[in-house]
Amino acid sequence: MGKLTTHVLDTALGQPASDVRIVLFRVMGDQREEICDVRTNDDGRCDKPILEGDAFQTGVYELVFYAGAYLDAKGFDLPEPKFLDEIVIRFGISSQDQHYHVPLLLSPFSYSTYRGS
């Protein structure tokens, strides 16, 4: 069976982003179903896969990273409203047998992602 993982790195501070809240949704047309609500550990990773086992199904998903709260906690002096607050990454899972790794590289004014391994 496949699995879904993530890793959040703070590129402004050059370190893993710890205690970032992440919510995973399954997207079905106009509807979103919350699957899980997790936080990153000291290494910027979750302690276990975000999605695995029987719950790991093909389809469209969204990871919502609560970057604004993380940046506030780190003491960044940012204007309101923040340029980045909730970062939504919508992606598809087309194979139940593969590992999908969706990392986030984060700074107060930019982010990037890719399909990792």
Tokens for 89? 């990454």
Nearest alpha carbon to residue 8 among 96, 80, 74, 97: 74
| pLDDT tens, residue by residue, 3-20 | 999 999 999 999 999 999
Strands 8-10 and 104-107: parallel
Encode 5-53 in three state secondary structure.
Answer: ECEEEECCCCEECCCCEEEEEEEECCEEEEEEEEECCCCCECCCCCEEH
3-113 fold:
Immunoglobulin-like (2.60.40)
pLDDT at 92: 98
Residue 117 is predicted with a pLDDT of 85
Domain ranges of the chain: 3-113
pTM (predicted TM-score): 0.96
